[in-house]
Structure 1
Amino acid sequence: MNFPLIALGCALLVVLGHRTACGNAADERSPQNQAIAPEARLAIILNEPDDYRRHQKLALLGEEMGRNDPQAGWSMLMHKLTLLPDQQAFKVALLRVWGHNQPKEALAACETVPLGERRALAFSSALEGWAMVEPAEAGDWAVKNLTGIYRRLATARVARAWARSDPMASADWALATADEKSQLFLLNKVLEVWVENFPMDAVRWSAGLKDQSLRDLAMSKAVFGWADHLPESTAEFLLPIPDYHWMLARVIARWVQYDPASAAAWLPKLKDKAIFLECRQALLQEWAFDDPQAALAWAQKNMTANELNEELAQLWQNWAVEDAMEALSSVEKIEAANVRTGAMTQVLSGWLYSKPESFKEWAQKQEAGVERDKNIILEQLAAFLIESDPASALEVVLLMQDPARLQASLRRHYQAWKTRQPQAAATWLKEQPEAAQWITNP
């Protein structure tokens, strides 16, 4: 069962939460508008051509009807609104307020909504409103009276609403519900809210869970949620707890998005070599996406030639995808020959896979030279690709200009492929007359 309109309902709750920031919302609540009869206001709103503004105004009217006359609001919903998105905008707001003030009546109205996503969203909206005043009762009602996707969505909304006022009680309730799958789902919802406001409390509560698998899952949710807001504090918290060092790499990767230099400067605090290397790799990979030049400069300053060769493959490939010529220019400035060769291979590989036509056009135009001898470059790239993508490797060889070198390399790589995958190699050769001529002719 797909629920595309549920996303709209969730978005509308955000609109309601931020309505005071919008001039249109203020206009809708003005004394002049509120003096107009609700049905007349509805007619005016439905003439609004902009979907976002119309839905926002419908949500505000639904909220008002939920406070003042929910039954009349429900009648408007049933008889005056025809478009599903418009219905959802009005209904979510109406039911949330109605559920807050008169939960049983609101839930009875939900029973009349057609089965499917509209009913699921109706129940979850009414129960969220109820959970704002009586979360335990709302949660228990959902567990006892709903099943399947209806229960899943409703209990999630209850858990989040409850977590805003009493996250620990909400988390304890989530643990007491049904099966393990439901527990994990609800805990995720609680922890999403909890870590936004009290991350340390959320982490400490998670660390106190007795079941190890549940504890690890809750800890990872809490820790990674905390890292989204305060990665340095999260890393410092984890540092003296070796059992949770496995989470540090992801925390570092998140930190890099905020402040890569600070994240890099923090790494020496890690005394365990394996964890240090894992975190350094996470740092470089994430940094390379945003600023490969800065990542490379840091790596060259802080890593040995062997380490550069082993750990920068992803950096070069990512850089080639973004700007292959810039990446090549940086490669040529590397002084260590073995590092330069490895980097060149990675750049060309990334370029070949992301933009093959551009790569081939460049390769065919290259003249021989110390750093860019086309035959050497292409032969290195073919050797790199032959195990993982033999067809691409042989196509690269065909770009070589030196006939003797081309033929020798093509025969060698084709024979290696044929030994491993004879049928695939033979099929490829039938479709490549130029290659067949090089391989079969003396």
Structure 2
Amino acid sequence: MSSRTLTLVGAVAVASAGAFFAGRMTASGPAAGEHAAADAALSAKSGARGSGADAGDAAGGRRFGSDRDGKDRAAANRGEKAIARMEEVMRLTDPMERSKAWLDFINTIDPAEFESVVGSFRGQGLTNTRMAEYSMLLTAWAKKDPLQALAYAEANTGNRFARNTILTSWAATDPDAAIRWAQEHHTAGEGEGNPWMIGVIQGIAASDPERASQLLAEMPFSEERGEAMAALLPHLLAQGAEKAQAWVESISDDQLKQGAISRLAETLAIKDPAGTAEWLTRNPGEASQRSMDDVISAWMAQDQDSAIAYYKALPAGLDRSNALRGVANNLAMSDPQAAADFIDEHAADANDRVYQQLAWNVYGKDPGLAANSIAKITDAREQERMYSRMLDGWLRRDPQAATTWINGATLPQNVQQRLQRRMQEQQQRQQ
């Protein structure tokens, strides 16, 4: 891809980047009038420098000032024409026609015109539907003058989106320079990763996943590292599930590895829940325990008989209990009683997490069944916490049914006393 041409494939990739970061947008940017004022001030400042070039030669000074003024006017005219072309494209309503016209337009923008065009675009408001176009505009600017684009973004935007979009484009063509910029423009705080590395990693992930992985590993445990991982994983998956799994298994930082296992399992389970479940059993740990139920639940949605057969074939232990939770979670979505019955049939595999998850899954449809499952939790503190949260909500939603169940249940004494006080208070408010 040449530096002056954006292909449709590139446009789609940038649009995806826009979708990833769109949730971080917090402001629509300065209004067009603010940009106009800034441009006018800059022109006035430049004119003042030119007109005072040589006090001893008035004619020469006028000639120099006239030349500079002429260049400023020409640049302003070009910017106005570019904005007019942009506004013409933005009036198109057919999505395909507009996308093609937008690509054609951004390929014609001169580097000197980008600031005016971007300022005008932002001044009209950054809505979710226009984020892909904004991404493409920033990407095109980065291909022609990344430092100018970043300087503008630093001065005019108050969020990460613009700078990371520009860095993604820049890193794809000059990773060393983009990495230096990201390192030089970040002062690390406690528990904070370098936010600019997210764009850099996304930019080099396709061409150099090994280097992208190294940059990711160098980031401290943080929200930013999680975002950077999310940017890297799709590129690793493009090389195949086995290579992506091998990459995860090679990670030495256990926190990073567990996070990668969870994210990768979530993605792989959509197409291959059986293979993903097997992979999790080969990589025991916190992430495997958290993810197994989701993988089995996804498998149940595709092939219930195979998923249940897999659960039953597992040896007794934590993997089997986690798989039971996945089976029950899926059954509970359509038939809460069937889920509870299935757990009762396989009570030897049911641990506190199984009953806790069942309670939350069936509470909306059958709060009495949910409360019955809480009674089977063996951890007294967790059981009390679940009773308090669930029964309080049931009392507010359906006081008559909740009171009937509470009066007929055998509850821990402190739970019973607290609920009795709550029911009395509720009766007094109703009187």
Secondary structure of 1:322's match?
coil
Q: 1:130 to 1:232 in 2, by over 3 A?
A: same
Contact (CA 8 Å) 2:297, 2:330: kept in 1 or not?
yes
Work out whether residues 287 and 295 of structure 1, in 8 Å CA contact, stay in contact via their aligned partners in 2: yes
Alignment of 1:228-239 (within 5 A): 228-239=270-281
Match of 2:414 in 1: 387
Q: Is 2:314 the counterpart of 1:270?
A: yes
Would the aligned equivalents of 1:138 and 1:158 in 2 still touch at CA under 8 Å? yes
Cα distance change on mapping 1:362 and 1:348 into 2, 3 Å? farther
The match for 1:208 is 250
Give the direction of change, closer, same or farther, for the CA distance of 1:316–1:219 in structure 2 (3 Å limit): closer
Judge conservation of contact 1:70–1:98 (CA < 8 Å) in 2: no
Deviation at 1:221, TM superposition (A): 3.8
1:13 aligns with 2:15: yes
- Closer, same or farther in 2 for the Cα pair 1:305/1:156, shift >3 Å? closer
Question: Contact 2:300/2:327 (CA < 8 Å) preserved in 1?
Answer: no
Q: C-alpha distance in 1, partners of 2:226/2:400?
A: 52
- Range that drifts further, 206-215 or 259-268: 206-215
Q: Report the residue type matching 2:232 in the other structure.
A: V
CA–CA distance in 1 between the matches of 2:97 and 2:334?
40
CA contact (8 A) 1:245 1:275 kept: no
| Corresponding residue of 1:108 | 148
Q: How large is the Cα RMSD of the aligned pairs?
A: 5.0
2 CA distance for matches of 1:324 and 1:281? Answer: 19
Structure 2 equivalent of residue 161 of structure 1: 203
Q: Which amino acid aligns with 1:13?
A: A
Q: Select the structure with the greater relative contact order (CA < 8 A; seq sep ≥ 6).
A: 2
- Structure 1 residues 93 and 151 mapped into 2: Cα distance closer, same or farther (>3 Å)? farther
Counterpart residue identity of residue 275, structure 1: D
Unpaired runs of at least 5, structure 2: 1-11, 20-80, 378-382
Gaps of 5+ in 1: 1-9, 18-36, 332-337, 365-373, 399-427, 435-442
1:281 corresponds to which of 325, 329, 340 = 325
1:290, CA displacement in angstroms? 4.9
Change in CA separation of 1:144 and 1:61 when aligned onto 2, cut-off 3 Å: farther
TM-score by length of 2: 0.60
Give 2:293's match in structure 1, choosing from 243, 246, 252. 252
**Mapping of residues 255-334 of structure 1, within 5 Å:** 255-259=296-300, 261=304, 262-285=306-329, 287-300=331-344, 302-304=345-347, 312=355, 314-315=357-358, 318-323=361-366
> CA shift at 1:276, angstroms?
2.0
Asked whether 1:222 is paired with 2:287, we answer no
Q: Which among 232, 235, 239 is matched to residue 190 of structure 1?
A: 232
Superposed, 1:103-182 pairs within 5 Å as: 105-113=145-153, 115=155, 117-118=157-158, 120-146=160-186, 152-175=194-217, 177=218, 179=220, 181=222
Q: Label 1:90 to 1:306 Cα distance change in 2 as closer, same or farther (>3 A).
A: closer
| Alpha carbons of structure 1 residues 183 and 385: separation in structure 2 relative to 1, 3 Å | same
Counterpart check, 1:43 vs 2:71: no
Could you list the per-position Cα deviations for residues 271-293 of structure 1 after superposition, in whole angstroms to 9, with x for gaps in the alignment? 24243224323442454245424
1-side partners of 2:193 and 2:99: how far apart?
24
Equivalent-residue separation in structure 2 for 1:178 and 1:313 (angstroms)? 35
Where 1:85 maps in the other structure, the secondary structure is coil
Residues 321-356 of structure 1: per-residue CA shift (max 9 Å, x gap):
22559x69xx9xxxxxx99x979x999999744443
2:398 is paired with a residue of what secondary structure? helix
Could you say if the C-alpha distance between residues 285 and 66 of structure 1 is closer, same or farther in structure 2, counting changes exceeding 3 Å?
same
Change (3 A) 1:135 1:275: same
Query: Which residue matches 1:29?
Result: none
SS at match of 2:414: coil
SS at match of 2:216: helix
Counterpart of 1:93? 136
275-284 or 143-152, which deviates more: 143-152
Paired with 1:70 and 1:172, the residues of 2 have a C-alpha distance of 36
How far residue 256 of structure 1 moved from its aligned partner, in angstroms, is 0.6
Q: Is the 8 A contact 1:299 1:308 kept in 2?
A: no
Give yes or no for contact 1:318–1:350 (8 Å, CA) kept in 2: no
Q: 1:156 to 1:60 in 2, by over 3 A?
A: farther
- Aligned residue runs from structure 1 range 76-91, under 5 A: 76-79=117-120, 82-85=123-126, 90-91=133-134
CA shift, 1:296, in A, is 3.5
Aligned counterparts of 1:379 and 1:432: Cα–Cα separation in 2: 20
Alignment partner, residue 26 of structure 1:
none
